[in-house]
């Protein structure tokens, strides 16, 4: 039987591998696989809004079922900044070192270090739209710890742990992370044929 084709609106090979392993009943294709090489607008002011923009762009332009994700780090003492602007907090897109330095500078020695990562996933399937969310609560460290991961991982310590995300293995992080939880909800939904 032919597998149902679903576009995952990303070219991040790590995310693709993770999702393909969990959704074996589906043919998961990337943006490159459908020859989409343009910059998809991410101009919404919420994570959910950006996830919806990306998924709708693909469904409308290519006529394909699709899901997309958007993630941000919300720091309580900074009015939930950088949030939807996490990738470009210090200006240039995805400069991880500059982003962490700006965050630590803005937080100074504020005793309230509470923060959370949030991932929103938007799924367009057979003319309907579904949203999934994953949250990982934790605290912002006063300095970087660990060499693994990416983004804000070296300064984020998840609740109940004594290590930063950057000190964890991929599996360990994936089991408790915002993205892991959101993807788990998407996978359960798709595998249970709830659509
Ligand atoms: P994206 O929506 O997955 O591209 O994530 C946007 C930005 O959030 C990234 O550029 C990173 O700065 C940050 N980010 C997303 N996920 C993580 C994570 O798991 N750990 C640390 N930073 C992350």
Measuring CA to CA, which residue among 86, 104, 116, 99 is closest to residue 176? 116
Report which protein residue has its CA nearest ligand 1's atom 15: 71
End-to-end CA distance of the chain: 19
- The neighbour count for residue 192, using CB atoms within 10 Å, is 8
- Ligand 1 pocket by C-beta < 6 Å: which residues? 70-72, 86-87, 94, 99, 149-153, 165, 177, 179
Q: How far is it, in rounded angstroms, from Cα 36 to Cα 18?
A: 21
User: Mutation test of ligand 1: which of 151, 182, 183 has the most ligand atoms closer than 8 Å to its C-beta?
Assistant: 151
Give the contacts of 21 (CB within 8 A, at least 6 positions apart).
Answer: none
Mean pLDDT of the chain: 94
**Is-contact 27 49, C-beta < 8 A?**
no
* Each residue's pLDDT expressed in tens, for the chain with a length of 195 residues: 688 999 999 988 888 988 888 888 899 999 999 999 998 989 999 999 999 999 999 999 999 999 999 999 999 999 999 999 999 999 978 899 999 999 999 999 999 999 999 999 999 999 999 999 999 999 999 999 999 989 999 999 999 999 999 999 988 998 999 999 999 999 999 988 877
Ligand 1 center from residue 1 Cα (angstroms): 36
Q: Is there a catalytic annotation at residue 69?
A: no
Q: Choose among 4, 130, 8, 133: nearest CA to 66.
A: 8
Probe target for ligand 1 pocket from 68, 134, 150, 170, with the most ligand atoms within 8 Å of CB? 150
Three-class secondary structure of residue 178 per DSSP: helix
Check: CB of residue 118 under 8 Å from CB of residue 74: yes
């Amino acid at each position: 039987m032919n597998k149902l084709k679903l576009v995952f609106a990303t070219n991040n090979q790590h995310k693709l591998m993770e999702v393909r392993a969990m959704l074996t009943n589906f043919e998961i294709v990337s943006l490159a696989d459908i020859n989409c090489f343009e910059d998809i607008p991410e101009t919404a002011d919420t994570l959910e809004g950006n996830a919806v923009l990306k998924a709708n762009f693909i469904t409308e332009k290519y006529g394909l079922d699709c899901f997309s994700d958007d993630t941000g780090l919300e720091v309580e003492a900074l009015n939930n900044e950088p949030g939807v602007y996490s990738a470009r907090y210090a200006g240039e897109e995805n400069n991880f070192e500059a982003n962490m330095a700006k965050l630590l500078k803005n937080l100074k020695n504020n005793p309230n270090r509470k923060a959370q990562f949030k991932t929103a996933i938007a799924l367009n399937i057979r003319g309907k739209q579904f949203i999934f969310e994953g949250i990982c609560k934790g605290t912002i460290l006063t300095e970087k710890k660990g060499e693994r991961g990416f983004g804000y991982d070296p300064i984020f310590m998840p609740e109940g742990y004594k290590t930063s995300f950057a000190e964890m293995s991929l599996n360990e992080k994936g089991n408790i992370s915002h993205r892991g939880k959101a993807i788990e909800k998407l996978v359960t939904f798709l595998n249970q044929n709830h659509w």
